[in-house]
Amino acid sequence: MAELLSNEEIRLRLEVEDFLYNEADLLDEHRYEEWLDLFTDDARYYAPMKRNVSSKDMSRELTTETHDMSWFDEGKETLKMRVAQIRTNVHWAEEPLSRVSHFVSNVRLLDSSASEVGPAEIRVKCRFMVYKNRMEDEESTWIGKRIDTLRRVDGRWKISRREIHIDQNVMLSKNLTNFF
Protein backbone atom coordinates (compact mmCIF):
# COMPACT_ATOMS: atom_id res chain seq x y z
CA MET A 1 0.00 0.00 0.00
CA ALA A 2 2.96 2.25 0.77
CA GLU A 3 0.92 5.25 1.81
CA LEU A 4 2.80 8.10 3.39
CA LEU A 5 2.40 8.26 7.14
CA SER A 6 1.53 11.52 8.83
CA ASN A 7 3.61 12.77 11.72
CA GLU A 8 0.79 11.77 14.08
CA GLU A 9 0.75 8.27 12.67
CA ILE A 10 4.51 7.91 12.97
CA ARG A 11 4.35 9.16 16.54
CA LEU A 12 1.57 6.71 17.41
CA ARG A 13 3.40 3.82 15.79
CA LEU A 14 6.54 4.56 17.81
CA GLU A 15 4.47 4.92 20.96
CA VAL A 16 2.88 1.51 20.41
CA GLU A 17 6.15 -0.20 19.54
CA ASP A 18 7.76 1.26 22.63
CA PHE A 19 4.83 -0.01 24.70
CA LEU A 20 5.21 -3.53 23.31
CA TYR A 21 9.00 -3.62 23.71
CA ASN A 22 8.72 -2.38 27.26
CA GLU A 23 6.16 -5.07 27.95
CA ALA A 24 8.54 -7.72 26.61
CA ASP A 25 11.23 -6.46 28.98
CA LEU A 26 8.90 -6.65 31.97
CA LEU A 27 8.09 -10.27 31.15
CA ASP A 28 11.66 -11.32 30.39
CA GLU A 29 12.89 -9.66 33.59
CA HIS A 30 10.19 -11.47 35.60
CA ARG A 31 8.58 -8.16 36.60
CA TYR A 32 5.14 -9.76 36.45
CA GLU A 33 3.37 -7.39 38.86
CA GLU A 34 4.36 -4.42 36.68
CA TRP A 35 3.28 -6.42 33.65
CA LEU A 36 -0.17 -6.96 35.19
CA ASP A 37 -0.47 -3.17 35.54
CA LEU A 38 -0.43 -2.93 31.74
CA PHE A 39 -3.87 -4.57 31.60
CA THR A 40 -7.21 -2.88 32.17
CA ASP A 41 -9.33 -4.41 34.92
CA ASP A 42 -11.79 -5.77 32.33
CA ALA A 43 -9.03 -7.18 30.12
CA ARG A 44 -9.42 -10.41 28.23
CA TYR A 45 -6.41 -12.60 27.42
CA TYR A 46 -7.36 -15.28 24.99
CA ALA A 47 -5.46 -17.89 22.95
CA PRO A 48 -7.61 -20.09 20.68
CA MET A 49 -6.33 -23.41 19.35
CA LYS A 50 -5.75 -24.08 15.65
CA ARG A 51 -7.37 -27.06 13.98
CA ASN A 52 -6.34 -28.76 10.75
CA VAL A 53 -9.39 -28.11 8.57
CA SER A 54 -10.08 -28.03 4.86
CA SER A 55 -8.76 -24.87 3.20
CA LYS A 56 -12.35 -24.33 1.98
CA ASP A 57 -13.40 -24.17 5.60
CA MET A 58 -10.82 -21.88 7.16
CA SER A 59 -13.42 -20.11 9.29
CA ARG A 60 -13.32 -23.26 11.42
CA GLU A 61 -9.55 -23.24 11.87
CA LEU A 62 -9.54 -21.33 15.14
CA THR A 63 -11.55 -22.60 18.08
CA THR A 64 -14.20 -20.03 18.93
CA GLU A 65 -14.59 -17.91 22.03
CA THR A 66 -17.87 -19.50 22.99
CA HIS A 67 -18.37 -23.24 23.52
CA ASP A 68 -14.86 -24.20 22.43
CA MET A 69 -11.68 -24.91 24.34
CA SER A 70 -8.60 -22.71 24.10
CA TRP A 71 -4.99 -22.63 25.30
CA PHE A 72 -5.79 -19.58 27.44
CA ASP A 73 -9.05 -17.89 28.39
CA GLU A 74 -8.16 -15.39 31.07
CA GLY A 75 -9.29 -12.23 32.73
CA LYS A 76 -7.13 -9.99 34.86
CA GLU A 77 -8.13 -11.90 38.00
CA THR A 78 -6.85 -15.23 36.72
CA LEU A 79 -3.70 -13.62 35.30
CA LYS A 80 -3.09 -12.30 38.82
CA MET A 81 -3.60 -15.83 40.16
CA ARG A 82 -0.97 -17.15 37.77
CA VAL A 83 1.52 -14.51 38.89
CA ALA A 84 0.75 -15.25 42.55
CA GLN A 85 1.35 -18.94 41.87
CA ILE A 86 4.76 -18.23 40.35
CA ARG A 87 5.67 -16.12 43.39
CA THR A 88 5.10 -18.98 45.87
CA ASN A 89 8.54 -20.49 45.26
CA VAL A 90 6.89 -23.91 44.99
CA HIS A 91 5.29 -23.60 41.55
CA TRP A 92 7.59 -26.35 40.32
CA ALA A 93 6.98 -25.73 36.63
CA GLU A 94 8.60 -22.32 37.12
CA GLU A 95 10.96 -23.13 39.98
CA PRO A 96 13.61 -22.09 39.28
CA LEU A 97 12.27 -19.50 36.85
CA SER A 98 12.76 -20.27 33.16
CA ARG A 99 14.86 -18.02 30.97
CA VAL A 100 12.49 -16.42 28.49
CA SER A 101 12.95 -13.94 25.62
CA HIS A 102 10.04 -12.29 23.84
CA PHE A 103 10.60 -11.00 20.31
CA VAL A 104 7.97 -8.70 18.80
CA SER A 105 7.95 -7.70 15.14
CA ASN A 106 5.71 -6.77 12.17
CA VAL A 107 3.90 -4.23 14.33
CA ARG A 108 0.93 -2.67 12.51
CA LEU A 109 -1.93 -0.50 13.64
CA LEU A 110 -5.15 -2.01 12.34
CA ASP A 111 -7.71 0.60 13.31
CA SER A 112 -8.49 3.13 15.96
CA SER A 113 -11.39 4.96 17.49
CA ALA A 114 -10.92 8.69 17.88
CA SER A 115 -11.38 10.95 20.87
CA GLU A 116 -10.59 14.61 21.49
CA VAL A 117 -7.08 13.85 22.70
CA GLY A 118 -6.24 11.42 19.91
CA PRO A 119 -7.18 7.77 19.56
CA ALA A 120 -9.06 6.28 22.51
CA GLU A 121 -8.64 2.68 21.46
CA ILE A 122 -6.39 1.08 18.86
CA ARG A 123 -6.01 -2.41 17.55
CA VAL A 124 -2.46 -3.56 17.00
CA LYS A 125 -1.28 -6.67 15.21
CA CYS A 126 2.19 -8.12 15.53
CA ARG A 127 4.19 -11.33 15.23
CA PHE A 128 5.82 -12.83 18.27
CA MET A 129 8.51 -15.35 18.93
CA VAL A 130 8.90 -16.56 22.48
CA TYR A 131 11.96 -18.60 23.37
CA LYS A 132 12.08 -20.47 26.67
CA ASN A 133 15.11 -22.19 28.08
CA ARG A 134 14.67 -24.14 31.26
CA MET A 135 16.92 -25.95 33.72
CA GLU A 136 19.94 -27.29 31.82
CA ASP A 137 18.76 -28.19 28.36
CA GLU A 138 15.00 -27.81 28.00
CA GLU A 139 13.92 -25.56 25.12
CA SER A 140 10.59 -24.37 23.75
CA THR A 141 9.79 -21.92 21.00
CA TRP A 142 6.40 -20.46 20.20
CA ILE A 143 5.81 -18.36 17.10
CA GLY A 144 2.56 -16.69 16.13
CA LYS A 145 0.42 -13.59 15.83
CA ARG A 146 -0.98 -11.31 18.45
CA ILE A 147 -3.90 -8.93 18.08
CA ASP A 148 -4.08 -6.43 20.92
CA THR A 149 -6.62 -3.77 21.72
CA LEU A 150 -4.96 -0.91 23.56
CA ARG A 151 -7.07 1.60 25.45
CA ARG A 152 -5.94 5.03 26.61
CA VAL A 153 -6.46 5.19 30.38
CA ASP A 154 -5.33 8.34 32.23
CA GLY A 155 -2.92 9.19 29.43
CA ARG A 156 -1.35 5.71 29.33
CA TRP A 157 -1.94 2.78 27.02
CA LYS A 158 -3.38 -0.34 28.59
CA ILE A 159 -4.21 -3.71 27.07
CA SER A 160 -7.95 -4.33 27.14
CA ARG A 161 -7.84 -7.38 24.92
CA ARG A 162 -5.10 -9.72 23.77
CA GLU A 163 -5.70 -12.47 21.27
CA ILE A 164 -2.81 -14.89 20.81
CA HIS A 165 -2.63 -17.18 17.79
CA ILE A 166 0.09 -19.74 18.38
CA ASP A 167 1.17 -21.50 15.17
CA GLN A 168 0.81 -25.02 16.54
CA ASN A 169 -1.86 -27.73 16.43
CA VAL A 170 -0.59 -30.26 18.95
CA MET A 171 1.20 -28.15 21.55
CA LEU A 172 4.80 -29.26 21.26
CA SER A 173 5.75 -28.18 24.76
CA LYS A 174 5.04 -29.99 27.99
CA ASN A 175 3.31 -27.00 29.54
CA LEU A 176 2.49 -23.32 29.06
CA THR A 177 3.80 -21.58 32.16
CA ASN A 178 4.88 -18.31 30.56
CA PHE A 179 2.90 -15.33 29.32
CA PHE A 180 2.59 -14.31 25.67
* Between 31 and 156, CB nearer to other proteins: 31
* Between 88 and 113, CB nearer to other proteins: 88
List the one residue out of 160, 130, 133, 131 whose CA is nearest residue 145.
130
Q: How far apart, in whole angstroms, are the C-alpha atoms of residue 126 and residue 174?
A: 25
Output the smallest distance, CB 29 to other proteins, in A: 21
**61: Cβ–Cβ under 8 A, 6 or more apart, which residues?**
50, 51, 53
**13: Cβ–Cβ under 8 A, 6 or more apart, which residues?**
5, 107, 109
* Between 70 and 160, CB nearer to other proteins: 70
* Interface residue list for other proteins (CB under 8 A): 47-49, 51-54, 57, 63-64, 66-74, 78, 81-82, 84-93, 138, 169-177
* Between 87 and 156, CB nearer to other proteins: 87
**3: Cβ–Cβ under 8 A, 6 or more apart, which residues?**
none
* Contact predicate 110/125, CB 8 Å: yes
